[in-house]
């Protein structure tokens, strides 16, 4: 895998939106300890240890720049090149992160800072597919039955075989996602994730294997869940 990327001289950066603030958590969730190591440090180390990633850009609030820089130093995350201030929306923040990447970067892997349990297998699968297709994201099958609801009433079944939960890293050709996000911003489009920016300009995103361990820390209940998942195998 490593040699494949080198042969094609493909340069890949990770962009980590890491806003940190959370009304549901009441604190900066990315600095909470997960097995005695901050959540964001786990995320950084996953990309630091990936041989395909050559640089990391963190996007965060102004007040988090110094704490995150200190955290990256403390955990020897030498690939962290820039920590930049985000915008008012995720689209603006991701755009700021990608714009900070060197012009030599071919692919960007956009990953939620609050997904600390991402595995090397999930990262590699998304990158491998994006090298071929230009856009890829990990997905997992839904376990629950899905229903369409209107005005508090269940009105229809939704076939699960056509629905999946999308995760990160979402990996794209840098020029593709850059133009897609700029177009979305200019149009005032509301995006649920970065795949949506590419999909709305008519480009398909390839699905790669995700992991049920790759959870996003969103609510207080997610920390003990992540603790339980921490040592489990894929």
The CA distance from 43 to 142, in Å, is: 24
| Six-digit token string for 62 | 């102004």
Write down the pLDDT at residue 117.
97
**pLDDT tens digits, 123-174:** 999 999 999 999 999 999 998 888 889 989 998 888 888 899 999 999 999 9
> Model-level pTM?
0.92
**So what's the architecture of 2-139+167-229 in CATH?**
Alpha-Beta Complex (3.90)
Question: Closest by alpha carbon to 40, among 10, 61, 11?
Answer: 61
Write down the pLDDT at residue 6.
47
Write down the pLDDT at residue 209.
98
Residues of the chain with pLDDT under 70: 1-8, 20-26, 233-234
Reduce the DSSP state of residue 89 to 3 states and report it: coil
Angle between helices 90-100 and 174-187 (to 10 degrees): 140
Write down the pLDDT at residue 5.
47
Q: How many alpha carbons fall within 13 Å on the CB side of residue 208?
A: 25
Write down the pLDDT at residue 229.
93
Locate the domains of the chain by residue range: 2-139+167-229
Evaluate whether 112 touches 87 at the Cβ level (below 8 Å).
Answer: no
The CA distance from 40 to 17, in Å, is: 10
């Amino acid at each position: 895998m490593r040699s494949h990327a080198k042969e094609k001289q493909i340069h890949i950066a990770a962009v980590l939106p890491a806003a940190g603030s959370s009304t549901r958590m009441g604190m900066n969730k990315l600095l909470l300890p997960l097995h005695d190591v901050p959540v964001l440090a786990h995320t950084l180390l996953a990309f630091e240890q990936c041989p395909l990633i050559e640089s990391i850009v963190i996007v965060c609030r102004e007040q988090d720049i110094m704490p995150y820089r200190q955290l990256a130093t403390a955990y020897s995350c030498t690939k962290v090149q820039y920590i930049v201030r985000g915008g008012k929306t995720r689209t603006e923040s991701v755009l700021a992160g990608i714009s900070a990447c060197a012009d030599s970067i071919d692919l960007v892997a956009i990953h939620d800072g609050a997904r600390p349990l991402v595995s090397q297998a999930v990262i590699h699968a998304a990158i491998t597919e994006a090298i071929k297709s230009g856009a890829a994201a990990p997905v997992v099958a839904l376990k629950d039955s899905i229903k369409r609801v209107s005005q508090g009433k269940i009105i229809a079944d939704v076939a699960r075989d056509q629905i999946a939960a999308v995760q990160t890293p979402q990996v794209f050709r840098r020029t593709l996602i850059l133009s897609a996000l700029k177009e979305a911003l200019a149009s005032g489009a509301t995006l649920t994730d970065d795949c949506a920016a590419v999909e709305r300009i008519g480009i398909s995103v390839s699905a790669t294997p995700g992991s049920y361990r790759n959870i996003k820390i969103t609510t207080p209940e997610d920390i003990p869940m992540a603790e339980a998942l921490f040592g489990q195998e894929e």
